[in-house]
Amino acid sequence: MNIEIPPIYEEDIIEFAQRKGDVVFKYYDHDNIFEIVFNSVYVFDFVEFDYINETGWKFGLELQSNSVYIEKIIRNMSKEKLQRAFGGEYKKIQHYKLVIDDIGMYNIICKDIALKAVSS
């Protein structure tokens, strides 16, 4: 799943915060307000483009199928730790890349995502 979002500038961001295990990203696009909520977040980090393949990015939200990032996390955990860390549902976790500017991207590992228009 790839979600097309426009180039977003710092002044368009209303909220980008971690709250009670979720990450909320709320922004303006023209006269509309949109919200992306990542639920049950396990990893939330930022990577500058200096460290990734600069030709392989574009603005938007992209689901990473067969994520090496998730495989790396799971590989280093015992079965017991996997059960505790992900509530026995480690196969449901997803890896999203969110690119909102030309400086870097966010990696978000979570169980679920909700997208909605807050106002128009």
Q: Which residue has the tokens 């709320």?
A: 26
Q: In the chain, what are the domain boundaries?
A: 2-119
pLDDT attached to residue 57: 61
pLDDT attached to residue 110: 93
Enter the tokens of residue 93: 């976790």
Q: Which residues touch 55 (CB under 8 Å, ≥6 apart)?
A: none
Enter the tokens of residue 13: 């961001």
pTM of the predicted protein model? 0.79
For residue 25, with 0-12 CB atoms within 10 Å meaning exposed, 13-18 middle and 19 or more buried, which class applies? buried
Q: Three-state DSSP class for 2?
A: strand
What are the backbone dihedrals phi and psi of residue 31, each rounded to the nearest 5 degrees, phi first?
A: -100, 10
Q: Read off the pLDDT band of 11 (50, 70, 90).
A: confident
Over residues 77-97, the pLDDT tens digits come to: 888 888 787 777 777 899 998
CA-only gyration radius of the chain, Å: 15
The answer on pLDDT for 38 being more than 90 is yes
